[in-house]
């Protein structure tokens, strides 16, 4: 599976009852993600990619932003 699909699946896994998740989905506006949802998403990303996330993911706005950050970390 490519990195984009892995991210989308991780996000879907922790957002029950939400609309479709795509790379362009905005976390707040489209997926109605609040601060706890965001923590859950980042935890799921940590598990999926086996890394520790600190502050550097605080400003992600869309699903694609997560992919970009991961790529910047060498994934």
Residues of the shown chain interacting with other proteins in the complex, contacts defined by CB under 8 A: 14, 16, 32-34, 36-37, 39-40, 43, 47
Q: Which is nearer to other proteins, 1 or 36 (CB)?
A: 36
Residue 36 contacts by C-beta under 8 Å, 6 or more apart in sequence? none
CA torsion through residues 31, 25, 14, 66, sign: negative
Nearer to other proteins, 56 or 71 (CB): 56
Place of tokens 């998403």: 41
CB of 24 to other proteins, least distance (A): 19
Taking the complex as a whole, how short is the minimal distance between the CB of residue 22 and other proteins, in angstroms? Answer: 19
Maximum alpha-carbon separation in the chain: 32
């Amino acid at each position: 599976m490519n990195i984009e699909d892995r991210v989308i699946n991780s996000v879907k896994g922790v957002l029950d009852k939400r609309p479709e998740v795509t790379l362009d989905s905005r976390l707040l506006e489209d997926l109605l993600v609040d601060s706890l949802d965001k923590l859950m998403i980042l935890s799921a990303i940590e598990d999926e990619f086996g890394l520790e996330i600190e502050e550097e993911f605080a400003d992600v706005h869309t699903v694609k932003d997560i992919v970009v950050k991961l790529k910047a970390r060498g994934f």
